[in-house]
A and B are shown apart, each in its own frame.
Chain A
């Protein structure tokens, strides 16, 4: 009896936040289902959500790592566009798109590492410093492209990499499968790998982590790098899907991705996070974006609901308990 009680307690401690965000997701689905059943049962609504969700997943899951390590990053929304821009430039220069993708993803990781090193070694506030990088990178792109977009229809349409990454298999977009694989990989990385374990320790109490021999600076820089990598993957996927690079792309995801992290049950104070919860957080945000219009409301309502959901999520964290010290 006591044993099962402790098991339940530990299980709740581990998974309570993921269940919380699953609760928000179910609640949202019910509201839409009851509010606008016809629109909700149309399959193409869910299809368009599934186009949006993978992009958000590549952005949000690495952010869970970073927030759990006790830091925050805003620059990812610009890294997203830098990686896509490098990809587009290389493709236009006649380089094989597969190689161009690799270069783009790599550039994202490098930008992440630079941002991380600046913040960690310069002992800067991650919120403010990454806000600076956000504007800086976006500005460079706007200047370099003269605000013009780049279309790569001819180069990408018939290339194998398009089919493998964003084609369709049995009617399912490939990016959904890639995102699912990414989630599974990240689940293990976060919960069952030294990197994820150290992320938890660093975010929980970095003084203790340092005393026990964990290289706190390296862990944080790797987390920033991972965010840059995820943002680059997201940017390149979106560019592939539309065959087009836009200089403004990614900016709209800044607040949505951050909202998904917190709605997804990862608290802001570090040391805790949930990958599964973040997936539901992405679900909530993606359905909100598309669902509000689908049920016949004006798109201007979206932000109202997003705001309400974020506030609700904060109260949810409170229910699950404050930070233990």
Chain B
């Protein structure tokens, strides 16, 4: 598997507080990495560093094994790193196709929309990601979709934006079992297309089910990086997390 993005000894400080301390992490193409850690462990600092909102105070960032100087949000986007926000950034009264192309519409000269092309592409994207219901197509309003399906629209939009690494921030929060399964199906389809996912969650069972690898953060440090083969059950993962927290 090829390295997609790699952080080497990245440190980020805010005043006297070290939010991220010599964190090293790599994500390869086509893998799902689960990121877990208690509140305040540094998850959001790590994500914001990945997407270029923060540039590291120390350490290096490599994209496909090439070192990048001056890490910014624009460079992160160019490298194909897309975040699906917790609130999914959707417009519920508009159609799926309008949401997928929001802000990046395909147009003719003078700004008129290439409607048929957009609808064709949106239908292809939502089928690719795993929408199966014939009741839903590109022109269905997002407001008619369930929570899991809305997550799917946001993921489809990230794919349209040429995402190679999709960061999902608590994507199964407040979802029913059924809906969570839908999100898992979407993530598996993303993986099949050789894209990567960084899955952030509070629910260890969800993270365990979907991830190939686990990264455990604590007090700004990456304390464990474990392959799924090393952990036989979510309970074991839970125990590892509890042990790290009880150490201090």
Contacts and interface: CB of A to CB of B under 8 A. Distances in A.
Interface of A: 2-3, 5-6, 9-10, 13-14, 188, 192-195, 197-198, 200-201, 204-205, 207-209, 211-214, 271-272, 323-325
A193 B98 contact: no
Contact of A3 (B94, B112, B113, B134): B134
B112 A212 contact: no
Interface stretch (B103-111, B187-195, B234-242): B103-111
A325 B143 contact: yes
Nearest to B138: A10
Nearest to A5: B135
Contacts, number: 87
A6 B102 contact: no
B44 interface: no
B244 interface: no
Contact of B93 (A194, A211, A323): A323
Contact of A10 (B89, B113, B139, B143): B139
Contacts of B45: none
B94 A271 contact: yes
B156 to A, nearest CB: 13
Interface in B124-183: 134-137, 139-141, 143-144
A315 B134 CA distance: 32
A2 B93 contact: no
B134 A272 contact: no
B141 A204 contact: no
Given A10-B140, A211-B89, A323-B93, A201 B102 contact: yes
Contacts of A195: 111
B90 interface: yes
B46 to A, nearest CB: 20
B100 to A, nearest CB: 10
B119 to A, nearest CB: 11
Contact of B111 (A194, A204, A325): A194
Contacts of B140: 6, 9-10, 13
Given A211-B85, A272-B93, 19 more contacts: A6-B135, A10-B140, A13-B144, A193-B111, A193-B112, A198-B103, A201-B91, A201-B94, A201-B98, A204-B91, A205-B89, A205-B90, A208-B90, A208-B91, A209-B91, A213-B104, A324-B93, A325-B92, A325-B143
A232 B92 CA distance: 34
Contact of B98 (A197, A207, A272, A323): A197
Interface in B27-77: none
A325 B87 CA distance: 11
Contact of B103 (A204, A207, A213): A213
Contacts of B112: 188, 192-194
Lowest 3 CB-CB distances: which A-B pairs, in order?
A324-B143, A204-B91, A212-B103
B98 A200 contact: yes
Given A2-B135, A325-B143, A204 B94 contact: yes
B94 A212 contact: no
B115 interface: yes
B98 A192 contact: no
B153 to A, nearest CB: 12
Contacts of B94: 200-201, 204, 271
Contacts of A325: 92, 143
Interface string B207-245: 000000000000000000000000000000000000000
Contacts of A13: 140-141, 144
Nearest to B139: A10
